[in-house]
Chain A
Amino acid sequence: MNASTAHKRYVPARDVAIVATAQTPCSRSYADTEPSMIMRCVNSLLDDTGLQRSDLEFTIAGSCDYLSGMPFAFVSNIDGVGAWPPVYESHVEMDAAWALHEAWLRLQLGDIDVAIVIGSGKSSPGRPREVYALQTDPYTMAPLGLDTISLAGIQGRALLDAHVATEADFAEVVSRSRRSALANPNAQVARDDTIDALLAEPYFSAPLRRHDLPPISDGAAAVIIAAGDRARAITDGSTVGFSRPVWIRGMDHRIESHHPGLRDLTQSPSTERAAIEAGVHEGGIDVAELMVNYSPEEIVLRRALGFPSLATDDTDINPSGGPLAGHPVMATGLVRVIEVANRIGAGTAHRGVAHASSGPCLQQNLVCVLEGDR
């Protein structure tokens, strides 16, 4: 990956903004179905914007069949969105942040102005540690039972061995995330834990302790995006939703080799490249929401995004608590976008960055830059 590639980054021809967001609280086990979680989000978005279902010209969702153990599980999810009369719709088997990327580019074609993006996941029916082992290479890795928690531990170990971080740094990430989550009504894990108390806990998958892992969550999230004047019209005078559009200034995603042995796990060149392509460094960043599924990942991501030190940087990182406080798989990345957008939409931040990842050890990363009007 060549970060020095001197080319002009893609700037969209059409301004597209997030105009409304919705998410369910994260829960260890949501008592109802996945479509009902989705319906809750969709209805909330329509209430906040005053839009009708028929105003949503493109629908795109991200979910994963494997979470419920049912091939074609995503088909029932459209029951929660609405598809009668028939709709123009698509689905990615990825975190919904990637669905947002597709929708953002889809609106660039100019023939439609409004889209809804939905992410949902119920991890409660399965055993995530066994399920995620199926993401690994089916010939060389999956037969070893090498799961994502073990791989996250290997990444943590790489940071320790390279003297990039200490176990206390991992605990600091957890302590801060859980404390931040006390102000997040959607968080599943919110508490005030000292770094010393966390370090006194036993190892779960050394060097990771149980709290270095995300909780197992059910949840859903959704956003409505709109182009140009349509975005302004939807937010103008809104009393319940955003009072101003939250413009998507740039978005990019990149993947790395699947084989951990071919990567330097202390670095995230795919995040670095995506950040450049998304224009992260072209302005100040008030807030960053990073998809830190395992605490060591925050250290890797901060380095890749250019927020090397919490002490010297003004950027507020994971004010929601991040995935360590709630991890609604397949919506987790979209929730990062939502948490940044909510702050810009409310006027408490002006410019922010959201990050989503997929795969073991941050294999694939997406970076999105959001900004409000001055």
Chain B
Amino acid sequence: MARPCAVVGIGQTKYAKRLDVSLDGLVRIAALRALEDAGMTFADIDAIVIGKAPDALEGVMMPELSLADALGAVGKPIHRVHTAGSVGASTAITGVTLVESGRYDRVLVVCYEKQSEGNATWALSGGRSGGQGAGGSFAPWIRSYIQRSGAPEHIGWKVAVKDRLNALKNPYAHLHLPDISIEKVRESPMLWDPLHFLESCPSSDGAAAIVLACEDVARKAPQPPAWVIAHAKRTEFSSFPGRDTVRIVAGIDCAEALYRKAGITNPIEQIDCAELYVPFSWYEPMWLEGHLICPEGDGWKLTDAGDTEIGGRFPVNMSGGVLSSNAIGASGLIRCLEAANQVRGTAGDYQVDGARVALGHAYGGAAQYFAMWIVANELNPTYK
């Protein structure tokens, strides 16, 4: 009974420390760009869904209230999603289900974070001082991956360089580091062993927006539609005895459900490229394995062989990824909309030639929340 749904508009702000705009201005820029891309105005929108990470990052509680005017929501439904770091992708998926349900024909999805308004590491430590931050939580699991897989230490450095070189092709990316190199990453300060400073995401301000539409509207849209052919979400407890924090069951389950829905049986061959949530370099090989894109133990080999570069066998984070821009609440939506950019052929200088099917992904919390979607240039794609 689910109706088809497509991305028909995409908008982003420049990701940076944005002291030049208010919260209202930030979200409105992204929303207006998405609407312009869709050939619409606020008047065409039936419902708005917003997502962001904890309200404490900016100190504004339930911001859908104060942002209602800037987002053209007055007189309309506005809905707010919060699922930790996965929120951007979760918000996109909520928007899709609202269209699929038949309730709304045109839904505006907006996600943002303005990290410069607060102290992200404090907030990411659950509001406690002296916390270990996100990197401190993930580093032991990364070490566990390295031990289990036998991956050499330069894999993380390679991901860090590859994503920053990709970011040079993306004008919205926060970090533009033209002289990035393996040596620079290796020599940068160690933050959480084995993660160096340059293997970590930046703190960014920014907003991203998409317009989702039902089939009738999508067929008439000015841009080619990116059809959302499957989406999936899974959550597990943050900690319990025996929890595998490297090969996470919720991540496996989520990928299986996603591929089943999409009719994908061989992800690495049938998906042309992916935007994966990689806030710390090592999560590229970890998610390649943890989402069944390649067999266990092979993820780092793909990275090492250059297969995840643009032009490689399975390009990952063509836009520069979270390692180049991390407006936390928006990051998952950026992964999803960059996947859509690829299948629409609107990814500019970081376009993967002939991309037809792409994966957008985010995770959050203690690597316990997963949200993923598959977009394609056709409503019923045929796979290799």
A4 sits at the interface (CB 8 A): no
Check A139/B22 contact, CB under 8 A, given A92-B79, A131-B61, A364-B78. yes
B240-288 contacts to A, CB under 8 A, are 240, 249-250, 253-254, 257
Check A86/B61 contact, CB under 8 A, given A93-B82, A136-B66, A252-B77. no
B177 sits at the interface (CB 8 A): no
Q: Which of A76, A79, A106, A258 makes the CB contact (< 8 A) with B65?
A: A258
Check A259/B59 contact, CB under 8 A, given A86-B250, A108-B103, A138-B23. no
CB distance from B98 to the nearest CB of A (A): 6
Determine if A105 and B97 form an interchain contact, defined as CB atoms under 8 angstroms apart.
Answer: yes
B68 sits at the interface (CB 8 A): yes
A45-74 contacts to B, CB under 8 A, are 59, 64-66, 69-74
Determine if B97 and A66 form an interchain contact, defined as CB atoms under 8 angstroms apart.
Answer: no
Nearest A-chain residue to B252, judged by Cβ: A86
Complex CA gap A101/B78 in Å reads 12
A78 sits at the interface (CB 8 A): yes
Mark each residue of chain B from 281 to 318: 1 if its CB lies under 8 Å from any CB of chain A, else 0.
Answer: 00000000000000000000000000000000000000
Q: Which of B55, B64, B83, B238 makes the CB contact (< 8 A) with A255?
A: B64
Complex CA gap A71/B82 in Å reads 11
Check A359/B2 contact, CB under 8 A, given A108-B101, A138-B23. no
Residues on A with beta carbons closer than 8 Å to the beta carbon of B366 = 75
Most buried by A among B77, B78, B79: B77
Nearest B-chain residue to A2, judged by Cβ: B75
Check A92/B80 contact, CB under 8 A, given A71-B54, A71-B124, A138-B66. yes
Determine if B62 and A358 form an interchain contact, defined as CB atoms under 8 angstroms apart.
Answer: yes
CB distance from B25 to the nearest CB of A (A): 10
CB distance from B1 to the nearest CB of A (A): 3
Most buried by B among A105, A139, A259, A273: A105
Complex CA gap A13/B100 in Å reads 12
B152 sits at the interface (CB 8 A): no
A127-169 contacts to B, CB under 8 A, are 131-132, 134-139, 141-142
B60 sits at the interface (CB 8 A): yes
Residues on A with beta carbons closer than 8 Å to the beta carbon of B2 = 109-111
A87 sits at the interface (CB 8 A): yes
Determine if A72 and B103 form an interchain contact, defined as CB atoms under 8 angstroms apart.
Answer: no
Determine if A256 and B62 form an interchain contact, defined as CB atoms under 8 angstroms apart.
Answer: no
Complex CA gap A83/B237 in Å reads 6
B365 sits at the interface (CB 8 A): yes
Complex CA gap A66/B127 in Å reads 10
Residues on A with beta carbons closer than 8 Å to the beta carbon of B79 = 92, 94, 98, 101-102, 253
Complex CA gap A14/B237 in Å reads 32
Determine if B253 and A359 form an interchain contact, defined as CB atoms under 8 angstroms apart.
Answer: no
CB distance from B49 to the nearest CB of A (A): 9
Q: Which of B158-166, B199-207, B228-236, B372-380 contacts A (4 or more CB under 8 A)?
A: B228-236
Q: Do most interface residues of chain B lie in helix, strand or loop, or is the interface mixed? A: loop
Complex CA gap A1/B80 in Å reads 21
Complex CA gap A259/B233 in Å reads 36
B58 sits at the interface (CB 8 A): yes
Determine if A89 and B235 form an interchain contact, defined as CB atoms under 8 angstroms apart.
Answer: yes
In the complex, which range does the number of interface residues on chain B fall in?
A: 35 or more
Mark each residue of chain A from 114 to 138: 1 if its CB lies under 8 Å from any CB of chain B, else 0.
Answer: 0000000000000000011011111
Check A65/B54 contact, CB under 8 A, given A110-B1, A358-B62, A358-B65. yes
B219 sits at the interface (CB 8 A): no
B348 sits at the interface (CB 8 A): no
A283 sits at the interface (CB 8 A): no
CB distance from B223 to the nearest CB of A (A): 25
Residues on A with beta carbons closer than 8 Å to the beta carbon of B124 = 71-72
CB distance from A322 to the nearest CB of B (A): 21
A204 sits at the interface (CB 8 A): no
Complex CA gap A209/B8 in Å reads 52
Residues on B with beta carbons closer than 8 Å to the beta carbon of A269 = 75
Determine if B82 and A74 form an interchain contact, defined as CB atoms under 8 angstroms apart.
Answer: yes
Check A64/B61 contact, CB under 8 A, given A72-B365, A78-B237, A90-B81. yes
Residues on A with beta carbons closer than 8 Å to the beta carbon of B69 = 257-259
A332 sits at the interface (CB 8 A): no
Determine if A134 and B59 form an interchain contact, defined as CB atoms under 8 angstroms apart.
Answer: yes
Determine if B1 and A258 form an interchain contact, defined as CB atoms under 8 angstroms apart.
Answer: no
Determine if A138 and B60 form an interchain contact, defined as CB atoms under 8 angstroms apart.
Answer: yes
Complex CA gap A269/B59 in Å reads 29
CB distance from B326 to the nearest CB of A (A): 16
Check A106/B97 contact, CB under 8 A, given A78-B235, A86-B235, A257-B69. yes
Determine if B65 and A13 form an interchain contact, defined as CB atoms under 8 angstroms apart.
Answer: no
Nearest B-chain residue to A366, judged by Cβ: B77
Most buried by A among B24, B58, B80, B254: B80
B9-56 contacts to A, CB under 8 A, are 22-24, 53-56
B173 sits at the interface (CB 8 A): no
Determine if A71 and B56 form an interchain contact, defined as CB atoms under 8 angstroms apart.
Answer: yes
Q: Which of B54, B57, B76, B98 makes the CB contact (< 8 A) with A254?
A: B76
Residues on A with beta carbons closer than 8 Å to the beta carbon of B234 = 86-89
Complex CA gap A273/B47 in Å reads 14
Residues on A with beta carbons closer than 8 Å to the beta carbon of B66 = 135-138, 141, 258
Residues on A with beta carbons closer than 8 Å to the beta carbon of B208 = none
Determine if A89 and B233 form an interchain contact, defined as CB atoms under 8 angstroms apart.
Answer: yes
Provide a sorted-by-A list of 12 A–B residue pairs whose CB atoms are within 8 angstroms: A75-B366, A75-B368, A78-B237, A84-B237, A86-B234, A92-B82, A101-B79, A135-B60, A138-B23, A256-B68, A259-B69, A359-B62
Given A71-B57, A256-B74, 7 extra CB contacts under 8 A: A14-B1, A72-B124, A91-B81, A92-B79, A98-B80, A102-B94, A253-B79
B residues adjacent to A (C-beta < 8 A): 1-2, 22-24, 53-62, 64-69, 73-84, 90, 94, 97-98, 100-103, 123-124, 126-127, 232-238, 240, 249-250, 253-254, 257, 365-366, 368
A residues adjacent to B (C-beta < 8 A): 1, 10, 12-14, 59, 64-66, 69-76, 78-79, 83-94, 98, 101-102, 105-106, 108-111, 131-132, 134-139, 141-142, 252-259, 269-270, 273, 358-360, 363-364
Which 10 pairs show the lowest CB-CB distances between chains A and B? A110-B1, A71-B54, A86-B250, A108-B101, A105-B101, A93-B82, A134-B61, A109-B2, A89-B235, A359-B65
